[in-house]
Amino acid sequence: MAEAGQAPALLQVRPPAAARGPRSAPREEHLIPYVPQIVPSVDLAAGVVYVQPPAGLLELGRQQNLLATLERDLEPFTQPAPLSVLQRMGLRTMPTSAQLEAAGRRDLVAAVRAAGGFLEVAQALGLRSQRKPAGYWEDEMNLELTLFVAAHWSKFKDPDSRQSYWYNQITHRISWEEPVLPQRIAIDDEGGYIVTEAEEDRVMPSRSALQAAGRYDLHHAVMLHGGYTVASQSLDRRPAWPPSQHLDSLAALRQELRQFVSQTGLRRGCLPTASQLLEAGRGDLYQASRWGGGAIVRRGGFCAAGQALGWETQRRGRRAWADAAAVAGELRRFILDTQFPPRAGSTPQGRLRRGSPARSQAGERQGQALDAQPLPPGARMPTHLQLASAGRHDLKYALQLHGSASIAAMLGLQGNTQGAHNRSRAREAADPHR
């Protein structure tokens, strides 16, 4: 008998080998406390132990035996889809009752329910279940977000080059190489592991993305953690909703621009132009660049954004606009870009922008010669409002400095005479002796 202060001894009870069930099922075992209330007497001569187990004691052993049997019988149904994220991470899933019944295994459905239900069996066997137990989201939300983002990679083929590329519907990232999916790395012999994740994919999905995928469980978990903004900060996950809502952060703007420059082959550390962003379908970055990072420079356009980021710009500072001929040349290129956009796959001569690697010294001289040619028929003098809307505050300043009518005359265009400043310049040009 156990002494005071010591735990009682446990009797390990198991049936003989001949009494084992069909299909080599594991033998049922019980651990019974050796106390008078449960074990009133023992017949050593006959080798018999008389037991009066309380309600539920024997069911514990039977449940463990049933779980061992279920682990074996459910194994063919726990494999995730081939080439899926779960398969690559070595994770198994708990089948649903509908899946088991469709496979003709209603016996397994009954066995799972006898063992406590699908959720309880999934927890006991270490299987991923569609239902999540209470308290699950307090520790596993980050893993679920990782798997959600990784599951949204899709493979496409470029129609021109026939080269395959991958696109992530959550991060909107394009990769010409097969993306590295999260990996599970064991850290001990007790089942502990860590999950690796690419830094570019460590994002917080938007509310609309989770709800469109039917992941209301994950959405409610995010809301329980304070909402999407709070959860993204606490989990150190960059927001993945439309960039116009998160690019007020200078760090986020810098990261998006770095990815754009890398993907398009532009010069590093130099802001792309408005037309380069718009032609690539990145109007979101164009708007963000106009705001210059929000928290640092609320207004100012590309020059202000470049100063805040520490990047060069393809625009000239105000000192460079002292030369009227330079203003006319830059305005000519703006008119060509906006009023006569190049066809897909073509880059007309004379439109190579400063800072472009393709514009060599020979190309620069050729561009200067082309700048002297007249504009195509139908060219119109842009208004100050149009320049401001395109983010070209530098050109707007230059026209105010020299007068729109003067620059329009240099380009052979009819100037806009709506403004008082231009009307005064026009009268002076019409009557120089006035």
Residue linked to tokens 């980021």: 309
Q: Mention every residue, 6+ apart, whose C-beta is less than 8 A from residue 12.
A: 29, 30, 31
Q: How many CA atoms lie within 13 A of 88 on its CB side?
A: 14
Specify the pLDDT at position 349.
41
Residue linked to tokens 């709506």: 418
Q: How far apart, in whole angstroms, are the C-alpha atoms of residue 319 and residue 298?
A: 23
Q: How far apart, in whole angstroms, are the C-alpha atoms of residue 67 and residue 139?
A: 25
Residue linked to tokens 């889809």: 81
Specify the pLDDT at position 290.
45
pLDDT by 10s per residue, the chain, length 434: 444 445 566 666 666 655 444 455 556 666 677 777 777 887 878 777 777 777 666 666 666 777 778 888 888 888 776 656 566 656 677 888 888 888 898 888 888 888 778 877 877 777 766 665 555 555 578 888 988 998 888 888 877 778 888 888 888 888 888 888 887 777 666 666 677 888 888 889 988 888 888 888 888 888 878 788 788 888 888 888 655 555 667 777 788 888 888 877 777 888 887 667 766 656 566 655 544 433 223 335 677 778 778 887 766 656 677 888 888 988 998 898 888 865 434 444 444 343 333 343 444 444 455 555 788 888 999 998 888 777 677 788 888 888 899 999 999 888 765 555 555 555 555 555 55
Q: Nearest to residue 182, comparing CAs of 172, 194, 196?
A: 196
Residue 128 in contact with residue 190, Cβ under 8 Å? Answer: no
Q: How far apart, in whole angstroms, are the C-alpha atoms of residue 306 and residue 183?
A: 38
State both tokens at 309: 């980021």
Specify the pLDDT at position 381.
92
Q: How far apart, in whole angstroms, are the C-alpha atoms of residue 364 and residue 48?
A: 104
- Global model pTM greater than 0.75: no
Alpha helix positions (H), 372-419: 384-389, 393-402, 404-410
Dihedral angle of Cα 348, 352, 358, 362, to the nearest 10 degrees: 90
Specify the pLDDT at position 191.
61
Phi-psi bin for 294: left (phi > 0), alpha (psi -120 to 50), beta?
Answer: left
Q: Nearest to residue 285, comparing CAs of 305, 257, 252, 313?
A: 257
Q: Nearest to residue 271, comparing CAs of 300, 295, 246?
A: 300
Other CB atoms within a 10 A radius of the CB of residue 256 amount to 21
Residue 391 in contact with residue 371, Cβ under 8 Å? Answer: no
Domain residue spans of the chain: 10-125, 133-241, 318-430
